[in-house]
Structure 1
Amino acid sequence: MKHKEHRLGVSEVNLVKRQLGLRKPIISENLNAAIAEIDKLYGLDNVVFHEGSCKINFSYDASRLCLQCVEDILVKYDIPIKRDWWTRFKEGYYLFVDQNVKDNAQHEPWSCHRVPPHTRR
């Protein structure tokens, strides 16, 4: 089994990969500034922009970060996200999975085979 080193704050268990399509035209100075700010987020593993397909790929620990944090930075720098039905569908799915990972990370496991705490044996 391969073991990849991740950045600080990223757990392999909660790692998710995301891809967002961006609308052209994109001002390269704004894009570079946005990617630099996204790259500084705690819990982000990597971020890459593919110029040919005009897509941004990134992966992060969903228990520490969410898609909305990245989208807020893109909006801050006036970088338009595609608004076609497929992108909206993926965003909804991504938000659902992010919330599910966050909830599962905070959930304390239990077992029905455990002796209740109030009984003494």
Structure 2
Amino acid sequence: MKLDSSDIDAIKSAVADIDELYGIDSVSYDDQKRKLHLAYDALRLCLDCVEEILEKHAVKTSHDWWNRFKEEHYRFVDQNVKENAKKEPWSCH
């Protein structure tokens, strides 16, 4: 996720808070590319939870078309994982 903020202290604080969330496997920030890298368990967490923390620290995400496209894709995948976890698995053999 590309960030659109220049306050590195706010970003570091937000990354520390995100790292505390239950379900986060890893989180890092590349300050040269201004990208936040996340790995998380979609059953326990979603992209909206991460964005709430970013908003709390006044860190904005980029609003370019590629970042918006990726965010919507991640939201779709998160929802799909949650819906599939509720269904009972079946097999025909």
Q: Same fold (TM over 0.5)?
A: yes
CA distance in 2, matches of 1:57, 1:111: 36
Q: Over alpha carbons, which structure has the higher Rg? A: 1
5+ residue gaps, structure 1, are 1-19, 114-121
Cα shift at 1:74: 0.4
2:48 pairs with 1:53? no
From the two aligned structures, give the one with the greater helix fraction: 2
**Superposition TM-score, scaled by structure 2 size:** 0.92
Cα shift at 1:24: 3.5
In the alignment of these two chains, the number of paired residues is: 93
Tell me, yes or no, if the aligned pair for 2:11 and 2:57 is still in contact at 8 Å. Answer: yes
Structure 1 segments of 4+ aligned residues over 3 angstroms from their partners: 110-113
5+ residue gaps, structure 2, are none
Cα shift at 1:112: 6.2
CA distance in 2, matches of 1:21, 1:60: 17
Q: Deviations over 1:37-61 (max 9, x none)?
A: 1001001000000011000001001
CA distance in 2, matches of 1:56, 1:92: 16
